[in-house]
Structures are given as structure tokens and as C-alpha cells.
Amino acid sequence: MATFKLKDHIYLINTLHWERRLFDELIPLPEGTTYNAYVIIGKDKTALIDSADTLKAFEFLKDLEALGIDKIDYVIANHAEQDHSGAIPKVLNKFEKAKVITNPKCAELLKTHLRIPDNKFQIIQENDLLDLGGKTLRFVMTPWVHWPETQVTFLEEDHIAFTCDFFGSHLATTEFITDGTPDVYNSAKRYYAEIMAPFRNMISKNIEKVENFEPLMICPSHGPIYRKPEFIINAYKDWISDKVDNLVLLLYVSMHHSIEHAIRFLEQKLIDNGVMVKTVSLSTADTGEVAMALIDAATIIVATPTVHASAHPLAIYYTFLANLLRPKTKFLGIINSYGWGGKAIEDLKNLFPNFKGELFEPISFKGMPDEEAMGKLERLASTIAQKHKEVGLL
Ligand code: FEO
């Protein structure tokens, strides 16, 4: 619960959710999160851009009251997801004359997800303007960052871009405005990796739309505001590029140390070959850290024991997740230890249809890796180094 004067007639309502630790029942939030809404007061009309999560609607209304807002004419919905739209029904109850300004797709989703009545909407299209009296809002469609209806609102006179999830970060902080720090960079990267990465091809066009507006400030609806837009725009350009690092992401599960033994050996051989490694034990993994590494890694190795004739469920889960996140990874390897058979390798391969790179010959061994398996692991390390060289990473 916090309000902050951004500029004359422009206010931030920063609903701090320090204690939230999970989003979508999937994404870890080690730093909590915020839902940012903005109030813009023109000479004639007052607009509210986005709101707060349903869980925080009561708090949100209190913040509006604390700011002395006694009239809202327009509620701009940049995105229908409930962490930004959840408080809109309560805002409409309190400010009965307010209209929800949004695009047709977002209106459709707000009607179905929050049951906001049809007569509450005023529909806008690409590049429509809304005059508040000395403050003009422009609406630009930025689909698939990260839903089909996402849009950005520009405040023309002040050159401020209100981007909602786009460029956001799950970071609860009272440092409401940033010039760009390593902490903010990491939180924004984690956010991009978990939520935006599957849409990187779409993001490129949407970055261009924001850049064309020449913003002096980017105001997302999660995390700090960017006083230097180039900080986050350049970071996004890097993340969406085809560039990967000379890095192997080793994802492993080990029940009785056989896989762990193989992974430790492979890790050292990769280091000896000049390849960087990030090793993650999937039984204690943080989904966000894995997602972030998937942005950078040129190679992924999944190593699993056999459980009930298939891969370990954790290996299945993270392979499935990697497939959803559509990483830029160029090379993939699978390592499997078994007791008496099974089809773990086949099952993992089938879980990764979005992977379009090169699959190395899987390595499989019975129980603890024997001399032959160690030889294959050593050759795998050399092959990875060679492949990284061929694509200019080493
Ligand atoms: Fe922050 Fe897509 O909601």
C-alpha cells in the first residue's frame, strides 16, 4: 500500500505485495511483487491506468482515497489479467460514471473473467487518442506481451509509456524509480524468462512501437519505473536476440548417486574444455533460475534416473517447462541411468517438440556409470566444446 507523486498531476499507486511467494501457482516470487496503477489528472477528466490484484482491491481503494481522488472518468485497462484488472469492478462500483477504456479483445476478456457489464466499456483501436484536458493518452496495441489483448498507453505531453507487464519485474521495493541496478536487471530478466520468453518473436515488433514513441520514462505495472528507458529496452533486445552463451545448463535428478556421479564428471570435463556450466539439482531447483538460464544456455543436458519405466517426474516436469518456454538453445543432450530397462530417453525427447536444434546421441548406462559410460561422457564434453566453437561461442 503506497502512493507516490511521479510528476504534477501524475500519481503512482504501488500496491506492494511483499509476502506473495508464488504467481499463477507456478512462478516463485523471491522478492514479492507489486501491482502498479497510475492516476492522471487532466483539466477536464481523470484517468486511472490499470488497478491491482483482486486480493488487494480493498487496499487499492484506500490508496485512491488517500490520494483524494473523488472522480474517475476513465479506467484504462492495458491487460485483462486479474493482477491488474482485479480491482476494476470495485472501482466501477465506487465511481459509477467511470468507463473502462480498452481494445475489443481486452473488453471481451474482462467481461468473461470479471463479469464487467457491456455498458461499462468504451472501445478504442490502434492509435486512438483520449483527451483529458492538457493530457492526452494514445493507445497502441502490443499483442502477446504476454496475452493476445495486451496494449500500451502513451501519455503524449510527458512522453511516458505505461506498459503493464511489458518490461515489468516481480520486485517489491519502495525504490519506485530506478536508473537500472543489477537487482532490477535480474528481477526483470527473471520476469522475462518466466513470462515473456515464449513470445520473443512478437516482442521485437512491440519494442519498436514503444521506441518510436521516444519515451522519457517507462512505467510498467510490476516493479520499478525506468527513468532511463534504454536500460530495459536494451536488456530486452539482448534477451530476445538469437544470441546464446558458451554455457551448458545441466539439469539433473539423482536418487542413488549414479546420475550425480555422471554429472560431476561431465561438469569437470566441460570446464576442462573451456565451457561454462550451470548445474541445477531439480529436487531443489528454483523455476525462475532455470528459466533465466534457459535464455543464456547454448546447450541443455537433462540427466535422469529411470522411475517406473520412464524419466523421473522432476525431469519430466522441467523438460515440459523448457518446451513451453521455447528456449533459444542450440544443442540438447539426455543422460539416463536405469536398473532394468524403460523408455526414459524416448519420453523426454517427446516432451520437447519445440526444440529445433541438434540432439546429441543420448547416453544411457545401467546403475553407476561404468568405464564405457565415462568415456561417452568425456566425448560428450569434447563434442559440446567443438559445437560451441563452430557457432562462435568458444
Ligand atoms: Fe501482471 Fe499478465 O499480468
Residue nearest to atom 3 of ligand 1 (CA): 81
Does ligand 1 have an atom closer than 6 angstroms to the CB of 135?
no
Does ligand 1 have an atom closer than 6 angstroms to the CB of 79?
yes
Separation of alpha carbons 73 and 92, rounded Å: 10
Select from 312, 322, 298 the least CA-distant residue to 391. Answer: 298
Does ligand 1 have an atom closer than 6 angstroms to the CB of 20?
no
- Give the per-residue pLDDT at 202: 95
Separation of alpha carbons 151 and 161, rounded Å: 11
**Residue 94 Cα distances to 91, 127, 226, 344, angstroms:** 5, 29, 31, 57
**CA of 129 relative to ligand 1 center, distance in Å:** 24
Does ligand 1 have an atom closer than 6 angstroms to the CB of 17?
no
Element (H, E) at 37: strand 33-41
One-letter amino acid of 86:
G
User: Mean pLDDT of successive 10-residue segments in the chain (394 residues)?
Assistant: 94 97 95 98 98 97 96 98 98 98 98 98 98 98 98 98 98 98 98 97 96 98 98 98 97 98 98 98 97 98 97 98 97 97 96 96 98 98 98 97
Within 10 A of 245 (CB to CB), how many other CB atoms are there?
16
Three-class DSSP category at 278: strand
Residue nearest to atom 1 of ligand 1 (CA): 165
Interacting residues of 386 by C-beta distance below 8 A, sequence separation 6+? none
**CA of 206 relative to ligand 1 center, distance in Å:** 16
Strand-strand pairing, 10-17 and 99-102: unpaired
Give the tens place of pLDDT for each residue, 105-163: 999 999 999 999 999 999 999 999 999 999 999 999 999 999 999 999 999 999 999 99
Does ligand 1 have an atom closer than 6 angstroms to the CB of 53?
no
**CA of 253 relative to ligand 1 center, distance in Å:** 32
Query: What length does the chain have?
Result: 394
**CA of 363 relative to ligand 1 center, distance in Å:** 40
- Give the per-residue pLDDT at 1: 73
Q: Please answer whether residues 37 and 48 qualify as being in contact, where contact means their C-beta atoms are separated by less than 8 angstroms.
A: yes
**CA of 243 relative to ligand 1 center, distance in Å:** 26
* Nearest atom in ligand 1 to 164's CA: 1
**CA of 170 relative to ligand 1 center, distance in Å:** 10
pTM greater than 0.75: yes
Separation of alpha carbons 201 and 17, rounded Å: 31
Residue 205 grid cell: 515488433
Helix 287-296 to helix 182-191 angle (10° resolution) is: 90
